[in-house]
């Protein structure tokens, strides 16, 4: 397939990761971003992400339990994701996510 940069790319974990790494998640409210035609010579042009929805009106203690699990898989489950043919989140995006949780869902 030919991507936005005019390069021929094949579907691979590296090409999917390149699309995620080049996406501007920081500018997307609530990380609501479709990864279609992201820039980058190695980026696959049709990539999707998986989202986790959480309620802001839940007790902070309940959300904290869920966030502890999310922190685990974002910080320690990345290699396992790779083994299962999922693309790990780039570290820069993990940092954005954790800052968002702190701001929106509390400590």
Domain ranges of the chain: 13-105
pLDDT at residue number 58: 85
pLDDT at residue number 42: 95
Long-range contacts of 18-23 (CB under 8 A, 24+ apart): 18/42, 18/43, 18/44, 19/43, 19/44, 19/45, 19/47, 20/47, 20/49, 20/87, 20/89, 20/90, 20/93, 21/90, 21/92, 21/93
Please, what are the averages of pLDDT over each run of 10 residues along the chain (107 residues)?
A: 95 92 88 89 89 83 88 88 87 90 80
pLDDT at residue number 37: 92
pLDDT at residue number 90: 85
pLDDT at residue number 39: 93
């Amino acid at each position: 397939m030919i991507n936005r940069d005019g390069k021929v790319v094949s579907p691979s974990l590296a090409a999917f990761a390149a699309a995620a790494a080049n996406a501007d998640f920081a500018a997307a409210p609530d990380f609501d971003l479709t990864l279609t035609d992201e820039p980058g010579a190695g980026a696959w042009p049709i990539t999707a992400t998986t989202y986790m929805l959480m309620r802001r009106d839940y007790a902070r203690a309940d959300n904290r339990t869920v966030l502890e699990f999310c922190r685990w898989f974002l910080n320690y489950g990345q290699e396992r994701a790779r083994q299962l043919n999922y693309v790990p989140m780039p570290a820069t995006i993990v940092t954005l996510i954790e800052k968002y949780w702190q701001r929106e869902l509390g400590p």
